[in-house]
Amino acid sequence: MPVHHRHRNPPIGPEHDPQAALSIHDVTVAYHRRPVLWDLDLDIPRGVLAAVVGPNGAGKSTMIKACLDLVPRVSGSIRLLGGEIGGVQGRIGYVPQRETVDWDFPVSALDVVCMGLYRKIGWFRPVRRRHRSLAMEALDRVGMADFAGRQISRLSGGQQQRVFLARALVQDAELYFMDEPFASVDAATEEAILDVLRSLRDAGRTVVVVHHDLQTTRDYFDWLVLLNTRLVAAGGIEETWTPENLRATYGGRLTLLEAAGWAMGTAGSGQRRS
């Protein structure tokens, strides 16, 4: 991917909190002149499980891609773990949306997980037995060890999502970006993913998750970024999870079902899942 405007960034300016896991300053991203993200300013502290929530087309995935330098930004600067993306790539994990890859690709689940180690292995070096055993451990953590040798098209959607998660785990990153990991997965997978996310957070890692299910947001996450092209609110879940903020995020687009989901998630918080 091309490097955009890197030379214009000062080493680290006063606008960035060096302690933050993710610090976004004044970022605007546009596709064909239409702004997708506008003047985004936010910090996410280390060691939190952060949800990025907003309606369709709010720029949630774009925000993650901008952080990873996968889309060019018009303006602004981003610091990950106190540095620029180019210098910290090895400490960042990424789980893209499941639909972005071709699952007919002729590789096994284990092969995919090993891809998480490629950077650590280095250019021109082969994958060795010890790398495969690391990948097996990661598959085991997501309950997929039995499927290691299976070609990936013969896994269910939830299993595929878990393979992606294992690939991120094996990177042993400090900061993770995950794009809709809970999208259309079965209940067992949702539980398995949530367990892994919580254990990552408990180990002091930071996880930024694009999330679509308002009903579970409050239970799953402890940090919230509400996005609708512009930033609506960002902060601890208790402070930001308010009807005013949600209304401002979704505007008139919060459907009755989403509103009901939000109400249920708020009412049942703490009891539905321990």
Q: What residue has token string 């610090």?
A: 23
What mask, x for binding another protein by CB under 8 A, covers residues 128 to 167? -----------------------x---------------x
Q: How many helices (H) and strands (E) does the chain have?
A: 11, 9
Task: Tell me the pairing of strands 223-228 and 49-53.
Answer: parallel
Among 112, 83, 93, smallest CA distance to 173 is for 93
Tokens of 127: 């994958």
Q: What are the residues whose beta carbons fall under 8 Å from the beta carbon of 251, sequence distance 6 or more?
A: 55, 228
Nearer to another protein, 86 or 236 (CB): 86
Give the largest CA-CA distance in the chain.
55
Is 1 a binder of another protein (CB under 8 A)?
yes
Is 101 a binder of another protein (CB under 8 A)?
yes
Please pick, from the candidates 92, 165, 178, 208, the single residue that binds another protein as defined by CB under 8 A: 92
CA distance 163 to 181: 11
Please pick, from the candidates 9, 89, 266, 269, the single residue that binds another protein as defined by CB under 8 A: 89
Is 127 a binder of another protein (CB under 8 A)?
yes
Residue 212: other Cβ atoms inside 10 A: 18
Question: Given the rule CB under 8 A, which of 18-26, 124-132, 207-215, 242-250 is the region that contacts another protein?
Answer: 124-132
Is 221 a binder of another protein (CB under 8 A)?
no
Question: Footprint of another protein on this chain (CB under 8 A)?
Answer: 1-2, 32, 65, 68-70, 86, 89, 92, 94, 96, 100-102, 105-108, 111-112, 115, 118-119, 121, 123-127, 151, 167
